[in-house]
Amino acid sequence: MPPGTLSNATGAFKAGKTVFDGCRACREALPLQMAFLMLERSGSLYMGGLGRMQHKVGARMTSGRNGAWLRPCAQARQNHETRQGTRRGWRPTAGRLGLAMLLASTTACSAIKAPVPKDPDELAEYKAANDPYEPLNRKTYNMTMTFDKYALRPVAKAYVWAVPRPVRNSLGNMITTMNEPSVFFNDVGAGKPRRAGDSFVRWCINMTAGLGGFIDVAKMAGYPHHANDAGLTLANWGIASGPYLFLPMGPSSLRDGIGYGIDQGLSPWNYVPRGYGLISFNWAYNMLGVIHGRSEHLDDLDALQRDALDPYATIRSAYQQQRKAQAEAIRNDHRATVPAWYQ
Amino acid sequence: MAIVNSPLSLADKKEKIMPLVSKNVDIDGIGRYCLGRFWKVATPEQQKHYLVLFHQILANAIADKLGDYRGVSFTIGNVTKSGDDDSVEATLVRPQQPPAAMQWLVNSSSGSPKVVDVIGEGASLRLTQRNDYSSFIARNGGDVDTLLRALQKQIDHHNAASAQQ
């Protein structure tokens, strides 16, 4: 069967499609955003705390490590009250101003939109790539890959090194099962009762017999997992993908990005009353989702970055083809609603 | 298949596999497709040079994968018409890994059936590769020579890496 050997060679090229699968991207995104939020929050706390401390110190101290910085404050003690007043308001504003300037400069320095080519062949390629915001997307891509190189990938490698394969499989099953409600609602939304039934049964079986999702009993019983997300549901409603976007959590599009937001709303974990360790669970679940998801694609992504001349373009192409194929697979799923054993 | 699964050394496997690959895979056709709109732009020398490099790249990619594979098997499923080509559904079963579904596009216009594309989970190998190459050329001022140099570098890199092993 010689042609098969060619497919062996496709591993590297196929990597792109598996690298970021839809629901994984969703899971990946959440903790990232949360991490950014936390950073922001702790940053402002830190700034606030520092500010307060320096007010106190400024009133007493005129020299030392902070002396130079605080001296004007101490020297003009008459104006101390007003100075303190202004400074309190000034610090966060400066931060915001800096951020605004940073944003403005990144926007001004390079166009967000790529110029539309004139040459007909080039234009055809430009249209096929569906990536009018390429300059911005490439920036995000570079940022994400830098983060991946120095943070996510090493952590994922450590995870693979430290946790044995069977345990990782169980954790993977748990993550998949916990996402099953979101898949279910999307199956319903796409009007595919058989698929919805599958994901519903998977949830029921795995959460009970599967000990909270750690064992994929449903798969053994003939209900294997299928992926679905709101981006695909929207695609089945005939909504075009819109321009390709590379978001911090991976390749996406306007439609899939919106779908991601909808998926967050469909996850039942957001509706459980606060407390009862839910926040810790959410954190652990999402962090684990990211690390586990990344660890599954260590070799794929390494191979892709080694073999592709332009990894960004390769990922873009593979992602868009794969999303199209996924949406088509759902559209063409006309299986009977009654299971095989009943007929 | 027997060759892939045999306990032969990598070099021997490669030697036995490559003639079969060139007989059953339309490497030139895939190579032309992958160069896309730049095929027309390239001079005949560049085209020739490119195809030589492309053959080597493909051989290297196959050799890389061959070493990993042992105990694999294929199941061949339905054959459907897809445009001018026949689409063959196949499932690659590897030990301790989930089975991978793929389609092979087979074109018989040259007289004998030849594989022209492989589609793995919705992504076409040749289309993805074409986008990689054309984006690379376009970002390097539309110069095909930059691609040839990059491919040569990849091959050198690969040879150096395999020489070390």
CATH of the domain at B73: 3.10.450.710
pLDDT tier, A156 (very low <50, low <70, confident <90, very high otherwise): very high
| Cβ–Cβ contact B155 with A under 8 A | no
Instruction: Please indicate whether, in this complex, the C-beta atoms of B131 and A124 are within 8 angstroms of each other.
Output: no
Q: Is residue A174 over pLDDT 70?
A: yes
More confident residue, A41 or B83: B83
* Lowest mean per-residue pLDDT among A127-131, A172-176, B10-14: B10-14
Q: Say if residues B63 and B10 touch (Cβ distance below 8 Å).
A: yes
Output the pLDDT for position A104.
57
H or E element that contains A121: helix A120-129
Q: Is residue A71 over pLDDT 90?
A: no
More confident residue, A151 or A26: A151
| Rounded average pLDDT over A258-275 | 83
Output the pLDDT for position B165.
62
Residues 16-55 of A with CB under 8 A from B: 16-18
pLDDT tier, A38 (very low <50, low <70, confident <90, very high otherwise): very low
Q: What is chain B's alpha carbon radius of gyration, rounded to the nearest angstrom? A: 17
Output the pLDDT for position A206.
93
| Cβ–Cβ contact A8 with B under 8 A | yes
Contacts of B162 in chain A (CB under 8 A): none
Contacts of A12 in chain B (CB under 8 A): 61, 64
| Cβ–Cβ contact B101 with A under 8 A | no
Helix, strand, coil share (%) of chain B residues, nearest 5: 55, 20, 20
Among the partner-chain residues A10, A121, A323, the one whose CB lies closest to the CB of B120 is: A10
3-state secondary structure of A118: coil
Q: Determine if the pTM surpasses 0.95.
A: no
Whether residue B133 lies inside any domain: the answer is no
Q: Is residue A134 over pLDDT 50?
A: yes
Instruction: Please indicate whether, in this complex, the C-beta atoms of A310 and B92 are within 8 angstroms of each other.
Output: no
| Structural domains of chain B, count | 1
Ranges of residues in chain B with a pLDDT under 50 are none
Contacts of A13 in chain B (CB under 8 A): 120, 123, 125, 128-129
Q: Is residue A316 over pLDDT 70?
A: yes
Measured distance CA(A89)–CA(A91) in Å, rounded = 6
Output the pLDDT for position A270.
75
Contacts of B135 in chain A (CB under 8 A): 129, 310, 312-313
Cα A102 to Cα A33, A130, A147, distances in angstroms:
20, 28, 19
Q: Say if residues A189 and A177 touch (Cβ distance below 8 Å).
A: no
More confident residue, A35 or B159: B159
pLDDT tier, A142 (very low <50, low <70, confident <90, very high otherwise): very high
Measured distance CA(B132)–CA(A14) in Å, rounded = 13
Q: Is B142 left (phi over 0), alpha (psi -120 to 50) or beta?
A: left
Q: Which domain holds residue B8?
A: 2-122+144-164
Instruction: Please indicate whether, in this complex, the C-beta atoms of B135 and A313 are within 8 angstroms of each other.
Output: yes
Percent of chain A with pLDDT over 70: 66
Whether residue B157 lies inside any domain: the answer is yes
Among the partner-chain residues A7, A122, A125, the one whose CB lies closest to the CB of B92 is: A7
Contacts of A122 in chain B (CB under 8 A): 37, 138
Best of A121, A142, A317, A332 to substitute, by most chain B Cβ atoms within 10 angstroms, is A317
| Cβ–Cβ contact A120 with B under 8 A | no
Q: Is residue A49 over pLDDT 50?
A: no
Q: Report the 10 Å Cβ neighbour count for A105.
A: 10
Output the pLDDT for position B117.
87
| Rounded average pLDDT over A140-149 | 94
Output the pLDDT for position A20.
43
Output the pLDDT for position B11.
67
Percent of chain A with pLDDT over 90: 37
| Rounded average pLDDT over A108-117 | 71
Among the partner-chain residues A310, A318, A321, the one whose CB lies closest to the CB of B135 is: A310
Among the partner-chain residues B61, B102, B127, the one whose CB lies closest to the CB of A317 is: B127
Q: Is residue A171 over pLDDT 90?
A: yes
Output the pLDDT for position B61.
82
| Cβ–Cβ contact A135 with B under 8 A | no
| Cβ–Cβ contact B131 with A under 8 A | yes
Inter-residue long-range contacts of A41-47, CB under 8 Å, 24+ positions, other chains counted: A44/A92, A44/A95, A47/A91, A47/A92, A47/A95
Phi and psi at B7, nearest 5°, equal -80, 20
H or E element that contains A80: helix A80-109
Whether residue B160 lies inside any domain: the answer is yes
Alpha carbon A14 to its chain centroid, in Å, reads: 20
Instruction: Please indicate whether, in this complex, the C-beta atoms of A4 and B122 are within 8 angstroms of each other.
Output: no
Q: Is residue A187 over pLDDT 80?
A: yes
| Cβ–Cβ contact B50 with A under 8 A | no
Whether residue B60 lies inside any domain: the answer is yes
Measured distance CA(A19)–CA(A246) in Å, rounded = 13
Among the partner-chain residues B66, B129, B151, the one whose CB lies closest to the CB of A13 is: B129
| Cβ–Cβ contact A321 with B under 8 A | yes
Whether residue B134 lies inside any domain: the answer is no
pLDDT tier, A233 (very low <50, low <70, confident <90, very high otherwise): very high
At a CB cut-off of 8 Å and minimum separation 6, what does A218 contact? A201, A202, A205, A206, A210, A224, A225
Q: Is residue A274 over pLDDT 80?
A: no
pLDDT tier, A110 (very low <50, low <70, confident <90, very high otherwise): low
Output the pLDDT for position A343.
64
| Rounded average pLDDT over A239-250 | 91
CA of A321 vs chain B CAs: smallest distance (Å)? 5
Place of tokens 């430290």: A162
pLDDT in tens, A9-32: 344 334 443 444 434 444 444 344
Whether residue B137 lies inside any domain: the answer is no
Among the partner-chain residues B92, B118, B128, the one whose CB lies closest to the CB of A314 is: B128
Q: Say if residues A32 and A247 touch (Cβ distance below 8 Å).
A: no
Q: Is residue A112 over pLDDT 50?
A: yes
Whether residue B135 lies inside any domain: the answer is no
Output the pLDDT for position A25.
40
Among the partner-chain residues B24, B135, B136, the one whose CB lies closest to the CB of A3 is: B24
Among the partner-chain residues A7, A122, A316, the one whose CB lies closest to the CB of B118 is: A7
Instruction: Please indicate whether, in this complex, the C-beta atoms of B122 and A121 are within 8 angstroms of each other.
Output: no
Whether residue B132 lies inside any domain: the answer is no
Q: Is residue A261 over pLDDT 50?
A: yes
pLDDT tier, A271 (very low <50, low <70, confident <90, very high otherwise): confident
pLDDT tier, A94 (very low <50, low <70, confident <90, very high otherwise): low
| Cβ–Cβ contact A61 with B under 8 A | no
